[in-house]
Chain A
Amino acid sequence: MAACARLTRALLVPGATLGGPRLPGLRWLSGSVGPGQAVYDVVVAGGGMVGTAMACALGHNVHFRDKKILLLEAGPNKVLGKLPATYSNRVSSITPGSATLLSSFGAWDHICNMRYKPFRRMQVWDACSEALIIFDKDDLDDMGYIVENDVIMSALAKQLDAVRDQVEVVYKSKVISYTWPGPFLDAETSPWVQITLANGRQLQTKLLIGADGHNSGVRRASGIQNVCWPYDQSAVVATLHLSEPTDNNVAWQRFLPSGPIALLPLSDTLSSLVWSTSHEHAAELVSMEEENFLDAINSAFWSDASHTDFIDSAGSVLQYAFTLLQPTNSSARQLPPSVAKVDPKSRTLFPLGMGHAVEYVRPRVALIGDAAHRVHPLAGQGVNMGFGDISSLVRHLSRAAFNGKDLGTDYGLCKQINALLPGHCFEE
């Protein structure tokens, strides 16, 4: 094989392309590849909600049945043996579109068998003025669902296990390096992506999908630029007990001067709090006494202390002008339920930031979920955008696989996907 390789090398035109421009941050591969290293068709790095859902979607896809797929996750297997009685404090709002994706490979049924809460209305209003917006569907259909992240993970892990013949999963695996082939291949260079794990195992793959969160190692190793900045805010989450049971099918969000506070229904008596505020205030909220914490929440939703006369009168003048031009149904501002208790140990905080990768795909790499785009939780869209990435990437890969394409090459992947994204204007 080495002799054949040398002969092929002799046929290469001198000066052809080996001195091309080097992309920054991209590590080159040199030297030959050991025989017998497993070559996977797709490796998904990162087993969070989005990474696991990606692996599931590919594993259940009919055109991928004879392909080798691998999921690498640094943490342990997340199947819940028994559903814990207490609710987790990390929840996500799942849109109907995401629910459709999850049901396409059978995970939604598991979620329905565990627990979830549909909501039918959303009221979003301001603390400093009367500004208010209400979302609902005409026939009061479910607008979305509040599901605990652990429940989603468990459902996905169960469905992943159902296709364990197609999708190999390695838990507790840490990746040390990712290496892409250079743009100009010679006879000895493997055209695949090389992955080295902490335990020394070496893998090769034709396509690497980075679903490893906003600090994505895949994104860093591939040299894709990331536009990011920290919001100077932390989100405080907690599980709250309502003062009295109610239908609880409304999601509430109020914009305070310090940041939005949201109450998401979990059951008839429980709601989840997401309060984005400054780092100092968040630290205060997490450490204060329970009654003070509950008072702070209730007054954040109920109090009009931030209103000023000036804004009130300006607002009512504007309102009057609008009703002259186009009379609309005025929606009366409703007040959310008051909270009486907080689950001990459910109060915690995490910092918020924004991130957006300049490219989502490059040859042999694709970014999905927070690795590609990280957003503020105020609109409840973070994981839904990740699921949206999955549904369009899987649709594209499925078609490419049915056409026998090499997944991950320019024609197989990049040209079509990059053209759809605003990021492609950053190329060149």
Chain B
Amino acid sequence: MTPWLFSDKGIMCLKSNNIIFAYSDKMKSYRYVGMRLYSTSKTVDPKEMKTFKALAYKWWDEQGAYAPLHSMNDLRVPFIRDNLLKTVTNHQLESPLSGMKILDVGCGGGLLCEPLGRLGALVTGIDPLNENIKTAQQHKSFDPVLDKRIQYNACSLEDIVEETVETFDAVVASEVVEHVNDLETFIQCCCQVLKPGGSLFITTINKTQLSYALGIIFAEQIAGIVPKGTHTWEKFVSPEELESLLEPNGFLVQTITGMLYNPFSGYWRWTENTSLNYAAHAIKSSAPVETEEHHTKTPGIDGQEASQK
């Protein structure tokens, strides 16, 4: 078996441990089915949407372009599950998240919604791109249990803020904040839709020289682990910047931990070093929702009294 092979798209690939490092700048030979006009949104960036549109159908190919996101579930699902379990006094092991309402912002093809739904949660997945929502909906439709537990909407976070104030036990924004335009507004919206004491889970990429070298140059341009043009380094968010936006907007940061991807094995692992990828967990302080002009930091809140149902 030669390690190099030519796929039928004329791309030369190195096959190693089921990871294909595709060297090609011709990946974008897809048809665009016409751009939909979106209302101006402070958080959604139309340029970002164009990139994801091209790959909408590829979400569920576990060896495909989104393989690293599939394997990231090994970290982020237990991260969400265990931190939410801490807030509940009695839970059943077979359905640890039952009774919880979770909002997945930027759900893409539903890669994270489905495991959370399998664990018993009622998940709402939103994504501004209609194609992603269609893919997600079609994928969950075959599983009768997930079909009932998950619902998808093609919209942005701001679109649903008003009707879902204080509805969710948890909001998940995984690999999303590095794509939004106005992070502060985004965080404020997250705060509004969360119940007091609810959790916000963010995974994103740090803004460092290392993340430029590895995350953009190596991952996108050389090895093709991430489709080219997915990320813009200027929009990466450092943990310090994230914290400085979370705390004044009604959140208490509980954990920030680094994540590391091994492109050869295809697996992620936790690490102390946050200079590449990291995950953050913050809890909305239990004081009632304040308006933007009157943010006060409430001292010493224990986020343990929570949202049971």
Contacts and interface: CB of A to CB of B under 8 A. Distances in A.
User: Bound pair: A and B?
Assistant: yes
Contact of A5 (B116, B119, B138): B138
Interface string A388-420: 000000000000011111100111000100000
Chain A's interface: helix, strand, loop or mixed, by majority? Answer: loop
B27 to A, nearest CB: 10
Nearest to A61: B94
A191 interface: yes
B33 A11 contact: yes
B269 to A, nearest CB: 15
Contacts of A4: 134, 138
Interface stretch (A63-71, A168-176, A274-282, A289-297): A63-71
Interface stretch (A12-20, A128-136, A326-334): A12-20
Interface residues of B, number: 41
Contacts of A8: 57, 134-135, 138
Contact of B94 (A39, A63, A192, A409): A63
Nearest to A13: B30
B142 interface: yes
Interface string A74-108: 00000000000000000000000000000000000
Nearest to B60: A185
B135 A65 contact: no
15 contacts: A7-B134, A8-B134, A8-B138, A13-B29, A13-B30, A65-B95, A401-B118, A402-B81, A403-B77, A403-B115, A404-B115, A404-B117, A410-B63, A411-B73, A415-B18
B190 to A, nearest CB: 22
- Of the candidates A7, A19, A66, the one having the most CB atoms from chain B within 10 angstroms of its own CB is A66
Given A63-B94, A66-B120, A190-B142, A406 B135 contact: no
Interface of A: 1, 4-5, 7-8, 10-13, 15, 19, 33, 39, 62-67, 185, 187, 190-192, 401-406, 409-411, 415, 428
Contacts of A33: 142
A190 B138 CA distance: 10
Interface in B91-144: 92-96, 114-120, 131, 134-135, 138, 141-144
A411 B138 contact: no
Interface in B24-50: 29-31, 33
B159 interface: no
Closest 4 CB pairs of A and B: A404-B115, A65-B94, A404-B118, A404-B119
B116 A404 contact: yes
B144 A39 contact: yes
Given A4-B138, A8-B135, A404-B77, 16 more contacts: A10-B33, A11-B31, A13-B31, A39-B144, A63-B93, A64-B94, A65-B92, A65-B94, A185-B60, A403-B77, A404-B81, A404-B114, A404-B115, A410-B62, A411-B62, A411-B74
A15 B93 CA distance: 44
Contacts of A64: 94
B229 interface: no
B57 A11 contact: yes
Nearest to A1: B141
Interface string B197-230: 0000000000000000000000000000000000
A403 B75 CA distance: 9
B88 interface: no
Contacts of B235: none
B94 A66 contact: yes
B115 A428 contact: no
A10 B31 CA distance: 10
B134 A66 contact: no
A186 B81 CA distance: 31
Interface of B: 1, 8-9, 18, 29-31, 33, 56-57, 60, 62-63, 70-71, 73-74, 77-78, 81, 92-96, 114-120, 131, 134-135, 138, 141-144, 266
A62 B266 CA distance: 29
B224 to A, nearest CB: 16
Given A62-B93, A403-B77, A410-B63, A428 B1 contact: yes
Given A12-B57, A63-B93, A64-B94, A405 B134 contact: no
Given A11-B56, A428-B1, A403 B73 contact: yes
A403 B22 CA distance: 30
Contacts of B63: 410
Contacts of B116: 404
A39 B144 CA distance: 8
Contacts of B57: 8, 11-13
Nearest to B29: A13
Contacts of B131: 11
B70 A411 contact: yes
Nearest to A409: B62
A58 to B, nearest CB: 12
Contacts of A410: 62-63
A15 B135 CA distance: 19
A158 B95 CA distance: 26
Nearest to B118: A404
Contacts of B119: 402, 404
Contacts of B62: 409-411
A71 to B, nearest CB: 19
B71 A411 contact: yes
Contacts of B60: 185
B30 A15 contact: no
B115 A405 contact: yes
A403 B142 contact: no
A20 to B, nearest CB: 9
Contacts of A66: 94-95, 120
A278 B20 CA distance: 52
Contacts of A1: 141
Given A10-B33, A19-B8, A402 B95 contact: no
A62 B94 contact: yes
Nearest to B141: A1
Contacts of A401: 118
A60 to B, nearest CB: 12
B73 A402 contact: no
B138 A187 contact: yes
A392 to B, nearest CB: 19
A64 to B, nearest CB: 7
A199 B33 CA distance: 46
B54 to A, nearest CB: 9
Nearest to A406: B114
A39 B93 CA distance: 22
